[in-house]
Chains A and B, each alone.
Chain A
């Protein structure tokens, strides 16, 4: 079933995306029938724990799934006339990556070339997609660095990655990602490697870039608080499946899935003292042998025999709010 999740003007539609990894130990169903959409200029958070499939979803959209992984089903449609990315040949994808969709990765140090100055690396991204003289490219890079609050960009242009702080490196990666004016920016855990103050700066910067350029942002994160800070809508993932989709307000104030509810009650908070934390018992499931039926059932306090057998589909619970839970009507009355 294709779920359009009543989003008008979607820029990106991910429909029934299924990405498996075929390893010696078995088939890892990393992403299984995942659907969601991103509107133009919108910020959508893809939130989940390890193994939830959030990063694999992002890599699938970029068509950068590393072997032995493979997109085995579904569609990824970029609705500006580009069409379905799943069937695009690699040469065409190379033109799309960076120009239309770009990605900013988790650990900037591993994604920057240690032997080339950061300025040249950003310039490379520009010259790849545009006919431009190297001098003009350099000027573009410097003004781009300026707009990302990088102080003394002329000097930093000639710096090597190791000479910069973590926050600065993340800015360089961001500069690269937005250098060709993409319509969609995917940020995979952009602040996980950073301290809170640097993290705060990067999050503000992402918000600013988004407002200034009107680019849509798909934020991949494990941190609900970060998602709350930036996102208009949230997609909650667990063990390769979408559990709940809704506006940030819906998800955080009126969650309609036992996993989301439990997760919210299990977080220690910084703005007020939590005396007793609720816990979600059990461990994260393996995606090679995922639980039958609802993948959350072994840890769900509401699970019944039916939950072990039937795979729940996303159902509408309110305008723009969907939950994949078989007992939703009994649990949330």
Chain B
């Protein structure tokens, strides 16, 4: 397997200024801290976590949209933040994005055809006379058929599922090797969600594209992903093959997330891992392990020493002093 994307010791801090009657103070939000992982070609890599854990920050940095405070992103071996302008232009088409809310990410004043061919025009890859043909082919590919019914439509004339398909068609226009999908189905209704999920799987089979999926929804992640990373307050806490994480989670936070997710047919007697207290703020992080204030297994060591991501078994990494397999 070839590594397509390497995220190396990525850290992103935001400085926020709080003004009050007695002057202002600067505070640092730790959005991501020392995050390292690799995505292999052909994989579907999932990043899960709750609101504010930094998963979207990671996605934005990987996409080259914001600069990290420190750390590097290597795409096919190249550090994307040290590329010169020309090389960055060459890199850009290889990595595309699918967004959560298709309504907000499509220009309301453009027709479907304009939206889809925009990336091609921006990269001078299409002649004016070929635009319609290109757009039609892309629409058929994402299941908007017959394409002629959709080419002249504006986003408001489409249903939410159709809009998301247009967003996907736009991402596919440049034949990317890598697609970042940030909550691709979270805004969709149940009966539409499965359409988009199956479409994403079909496209992957056809083109071998590598996906980087960001989501808070564990069911979506389990369906789509081959590898999963769990993030908590700016840190990666667990990383492994998808089925390994879901069947044998090592980190108490992963266990808590899994047992808190409701599922049809769960019985009330199922063992639950309950957390105490509230999620700490990324401004005032707890010392040691960032999870220790809510962890039912916390020991004195956890309050003072920050656990590093380490391997507990084949391809399974966890940042915990007392993971499941080492707990009595």
Contacts and interface: CB of A to CB of B under 8 A. Distances in A.
Contacts of B272: 200
A271 B189 contact: no
A197 B266 contact: no
Interface string A171-186: 0000000000000000
Contact of A280 (B191, B219, B265): B191
B161 to A, nearest CB: 6
A281 B222 CA distance: 22
Q: In terms of DSSP, what is the predominant structure of the interface of chain B?
A: helix
A269 interface: yes
B314 interface: no
Contact of A271 (B50, B216, B223, B263): B263
A229 B259 CA distance: 12
A165 B52 CA distance: 12
A59 B245 CA distance: 42
B262 A228 contact: yes
Contact of A200 (B190, B222, B260): B260
A23 to B, nearest CB: 16
A263 B265 CA distance: 15
B100 to A, nearest CB: 15
A268 interface: yes
B195 A197 contact: no
Contact of B264 (A196, A225, A266, A284): A225
Nearest to B48: A196
A262 B192 CA distance: 12
Given A50-B189, A197-B260, A268 B161 contact: no
Nearest to B218: A270
Interface in B196-231: 197-198, 216, 218-220, 222-224
Interface residues of B, number: 39
Contacts of A168: 278
B193 interface: yes
A199 interface: yes
Interface string B51-81: 1000000000000000000000000000000
A269 B222 contact: yes
B222 A270 contact: yes
Residues of A contacting B: mostly = loop
Contacts, number: 117
Nearest to A196: B260
**Chain A contact residues (Cβ within 8 angstroms of B): what range?**
35 or more
B299 interface: no
Interface string A273-310: 11011111101100000000000000100000000000
Contacts of B259: 200
Instruction: Point out which of B161, B190, B263 has the most chain A C-beta atoms below 10 A from its C-beta.
Output: B190
Nearest to A280: B191
B29 interface: no
A25 to B, nearest CB: 13
Given A229-B266, A273-B243, A268 B256 contact: no
A276 B201 CA distance: 10
A108 to B, nearest CB: 15
Interface string A242-264: 00000000001100000000111
Interface string A154-196: 0000000000010110000000000000000000000000011
Contacts of B275: 197
A270 B219 contact: yes
A276 to B, nearest CB: 8
Q: Which of B51, B192, B257, B279 has the most CB of A within 10 A?
A: B192
Contacts of B266: 225, 228-229, 271
A197 B262 contact: no
A196 B219 contact: no
B194 A270 contact: no
A283 to B, nearest CB: 4
Contacts of A266: 190-191, 193-194
A47 to B, nearest CB: 9
Contacts of A283: 159, 161-162, 192
Contacts of A229: 262, 266
Interface in B264-293: 264-266, 272, 275, 278-279
A263 to B, nearest CB: 6
Interface in B117-141: none
A278 B193 CA distance: 11
A65 interface: no
A222 interface: yes
A26 B195 CA distance: 30
A281 B162 CA distance: 12
A280 B194 contact: yes
A253 B220 CA distance: 22
A197 B159 contact: no
Interface in A208-256: 222-226, 228-229, 252-253
15 contacts: A49-B189, A196-B260, A223-B262, A225-B263, A228-B266, A229-B266, A266-B193, A268-B194, A268-B223, A269-B264, A270-B263, A274-B223, A277-B197, A281-B195, A284-B189
Interface of A: 49-50, 165, 167-168, 195-197, 199-200, 203, 222-226, 228-229, 252-253, 262-264, 266-271, 273-274, 276-281, 283-284, 299
Given A269-B219, A279-B194, 6 more contacts: A200-B259, A223-B262, A263-B190, A267-B264, A273-B246, A277-B223
